[in-house]
Structure 1
Amino acid sequence: MKKIIAIISISMFVFMLAACNSSKNNSSDNGIPEMLEVVLEIQDTADVNADIPFKATVTQGNEKVSDADEVEFEVWEEGKKDESEMIEAINNKDGTYSAIKAFDHDGVFTVQVHVTARGLHTMPKKSVTVGKGVIEEHAHNDHEQGEHEHGHHSEDFNMHFMKPETIEKGKETEFVVHLQDHNQPLEHARVRFEIWNDDISDKHEWVDASETKTGEYGGSHAFDEIGIYKIKIHVQNDEGLHEHEEYEIEVK
């Protein structure tokens, strides 16, 4: 009997030790969860109308993350970010997430993967040149326009606005945006939501956002009227970063 109890005790000890080691793999020495690491794999060039595979490998510490809450690939043509397309990724259950996309004309396209997992968010991006790419003059004009619109623009800055699925008149709506710079969550930024509808009023409402998590900012607003509104997200920090992106939302 004593032998059986000893065997059970040893087994439980080994199990608890394994669980403890597993927990440590996902946390740093000070107990803070380790950052998500995402490797985005996309070919540099492709032919028009050819299928292009997208692949994102997600890890946290030494562990492959196969239980991400959401993985989407956002795709847009250079200079046309406001016309981007979202493609839901397939979870291969091995820490990798994939999708396929074909482009029907020449151009340079950006592919950005948005990964939300274990309370963290990251969004690396890469570009692919399709066919002959773009005409140099067109690319140069787009670059100048981008500098004019964004001011102190950082090529490594990324913004992901979590557009609400439904917005109802008279109800508080929570707006959330994830910010990243140089592949790291952007902390301690000053973020404001500018909201207006020219058909209703020439007044612009301003909502100050607060940092709810590392690199995540949120604020709420209630709309008095239904209609199509513009929302512009302004981002600044003490290092001179000054970015903004504009979106369209509908209030019902």
Structure 2
Amino acid sequence: MRRKLSMFLLVSMLVLLAACNGKEETKEVPKAIEVKLDVPETAEVNSKVEMKAVVTQGDEKVADADEVEFEIWEEGKKEESNTIKAKNNGDGSYEAQTKFEHNGLFTVQVHVTARDMHTMPKKSVTVGEGIKDGEEKHEHENEANGEHAHTEGFAMHFAALENVQVERETELSVHLQKDNKPLEKAKVRYEIWNDSKLEKHEWIDADESAAGEYKAKHNFTEAGNYKIQIHVENDEGLHEHEEHQIEVKK
């Protein structure tokens, strides 16, 4: 009798464990956040321009985003970009204003971090007369001389570094996207060098901490101006890079 009871209890426990495991396997994966970026295709010089981003997750409006910022730069001058923090309207929409001081072609990219996800769609804005023929030729000459233009649909956002100090661990973080979706399973390396010691370059492999987010840690041993070049590759033949400059203080 006791033997039969023991067998019954053992079988019951196995069935219960199997049921629990089944529930874990069927756990739903959170839906990705989506962002609708609303900016005009054309704008007048020195006129007020409204920028709006509507953030959703499935059918739900996301009103609790951790960070929403609009990054703006002129064609060929991303290193001189300007960032504007968006106002949260409390209904899933986030807004900001800007103005453009001269003719040209500009890019507006919104960076949204919400619910442990990051996305960064972008659009172009033609201001005034846009790019003249001579200016457009100059842009192509820059690319021919080695200035890198990203693959269509690819986007890279390097988290700004502030108050970097010698011998203090610094976290390097970059978000990558392809066709407005996180670029996963890429090989990302940070190349770092001091402007005063061009012969010495350090290479650091980054780990993918979340979908499309790649992080690494580094200690700077000397004060000075440094360059950080981010190299991105994947199995589909993508090969991208982008350079940033930071100051390290004592």
Shorter-chain TM-score bucket reads 0.7 to 0.9
- Distance in 2 of aligned mates of 1:157 and 1:103: 25
Aligned to 2:123: 126
1:40 to 37, 41, 48: 37
| 2:212 counterpart of 1:215 | yes
Deviation, structure 1 residue 144: 5.1
Deviation, structure 1 residue 164: 2.5
**Do the aligned residues in 1 keep the contact of 2:195 with 2:225 (CA within 8 Å)?**
no
1:74 to 66, 71, 75: 71
Describe how 1:102-251 pairs up with structure 2 within 5 A.
102-143=99-140, 145-146=142-143, 148-150=146-148, 153-200=150-197, 202-251=199-248
1:10-64 Cα distance to aligned partner (Å, 9 max, x none): xxxxxxxxxxxxxxxxxxx752111010000011111111000000000011110
Q: What amino acid maps onto 1:137 in structure 2?
A: G
Deviation, structure 1 residue 201: 5.2
Deviation, structure 1 residue 167: 1.4
Deviation, structure 1 residue 150: 3.3
**Do the aligned residues in 1 keep the contact of 2:107 with 2:123 (CA within 8 Å)?**
yes
Deviation, structure 1 residue 172: 1.6
Larger of the two Rg values belongs to structure: 2
Q: TM-score, normalised by structure 1?
A: 0.85
Deviation, structure 1 residue 228: 1.2
- Distance in 2 of aligned mates of 1:117 and 1:137: 42
Aligned to 1:5: none
Deviation, structure 1 residue 217: 0.3
| 1:155–1:143 CA distance, 2 compared to 1 (3 A) | farther
1:157-212 Cα distance to aligned partner (Å, 9 max, x none): 10000122221211221101000011110011111101011314520011111111
**Do the aligned residues in 1 keep the contact of 2:105 with 2:130 (CA within 8 Å)?**
yes
| 1:204–1:216 CA distance, 2 compared to 1 (3 A) | same
**Do the aligned residues in 2 keep the contact of 1:53 with 1:99 (CA within 8 Å)?**
yes
Q: What amino acid maps onto 1:135 in structure 2?
A: K
**Do the aligned residues in 2 keep the contact of 1:55 with 1:96 (CA within 8 Å)?**
yes
In structure 2, the residue corresponding to 1:163 is in which secondary structure? coil
- Distance in 2 of aligned mates of 1:45 and 1:188: 37
1:65-100 Cα distance to aligned partner (Å, 9 max, x none): 111000000000001011000000011111000011
- Distance in 1 of aligned mates of 2:141 and 2:37: 28
- Distance in 1 of aligned mates of 2:219 and 2:118: 26
- Distance in 2 of aligned mates of 1:249 and 1:31: 41
In structure 2, the residue corresponding to 1:149 is in which secondary structure? coil
**Do the aligned residues in 2 keep the contact of 1:150 with 1:242 (CA within 8 Å)?**
no
- Distance in 2 of aligned mates of 1:204 and 1:111: 33
Shift >4 Å, 4+ stretches: none
CA-atom RMSD in angstroms: 1.5
- Distance in 2 of aligned mates of 1:183 and 1:222: 32
Aligned length: 223
Question: Equivalent pairs: percent with the same residue?
Answer: 58
Q: TM-score, normalised by structure 2?
A: 0.85
